[in-house]
Amino acid sequence: MSQRSTLATAHTIAYQLQSLPMQTQVLKCGSRSLSLERAQIMGILNVTPDSFSDGGQFYDLDDALKQTEHMIHAGASIIDIGGESTRPGAQSVDDQQELDRVLPVLQAIVQRFDVIVSVDTSKAIVMREAVASGAGMLNDVRALREPEALSAAAESDLPICLMHMLGQPRTMQNQPKYSDVVKEVADFLKERVDSCRCAGIDPKNLLIDPGFGFGKTLSHNIELLKNLGKLADISPVLAGLSRKSMIAGMLQDEHDNRVIGSVTAAMLCVQNGASIIRVHDVLETAQALKVVNAVEYGIEEAASAG
């Protein structure tokens, strides 16, 4: 075969490969599926008395169900239930206390609504009980480093989000230091992904979270946000920066109203490669995401994507 023919064949193959549709990752969340072709919204439901933004607001079951319904109608694909606050300085809770907070809400949501329910926990027993009660995803701020958490996640065969945190909630904001925050967070998440694979967890079930505000200064958080695409090369990214102090830091305003700043930051996460954005303000975020999708994909495609 001549050099010209070889080059022509190579060009033809390259064109054919470029013409093939990209394979869309679909998460199997128990009986439900979640496409990551477009960014998805995870609504936060804290059933705690002391979470930093909404502690105590949804502690009552009826209030939690009303908020869940509101978030689903507003555009949330996932509801993330948390039974233990991980704000800076937060005190830990025991296994039974977390179970008592999470399970009744989880079971009620699964019975009433057609939605994927994630459970935000680091405890193996909570993971196992949540899976038995119908959870479709697990979200662990400690990246499966607690006793038996890795095996519990492997047994579940559900998607699991691994988050980076420097230290523990009580101490994580005590002068955190990095030589290169993007590289160090990426290296940590790569190591945790490898550990999960070795434990038998399907790589398709793994999500990663850079852990905005978890042992990071404002400059660290901004650097991670700017370089989110580098983390997306490891696994699909779940990003949560809703109402956090980094928003107040960027606004240079400690006022509690951080909604517009949070939504703007969430859209930057999407543009920089995040597949799921974890938020308090679902309606506002969903509206912003529709605008971004309309510009990126066209109005009709954006509307069909929800």
d(CA 299, CA 306): 11
d(CA 77, CA 114): 9
Task: From the candidates 38, 243, 244, 258, give the one annotated as an active-site residue.
Answer: 244
Cβ atoms of residues 79 and 68 within 8 Å: yes
Asked about 244 being catalytic, the answer comes back as yes
Task: From the candidates 38, 142, 192, 278, give the one annotated as an active-site residue.
Answer: 278
Of the candidates 211, 206, 240, 28, which has an alpha carbon nearest to the alpha carbon of residue 116?
28
Beta strand 26-29 with 32-35 is: antiparallel
**One-letter identity of residue 224:** L
SS3 122: coil
Angstrom CA distances, 189 to 51, 202, 237, 295, stand at 25, 16, 11, 32
Angstrom CA distances, 206 to 225, 263, 288, stand at 20, 25, 27
Asked about 183 being catalytic, the answer comes back as no
Of the candidates 124, 122, 136, 143, which has an alpha carbon nearest to the alpha carbon of residue 235?
143
The helix, strand and coil proportions of the chain, stated in percent and rounded to the nearest 5, come to 45, 15, 40
Catalytic residues: 244, 278
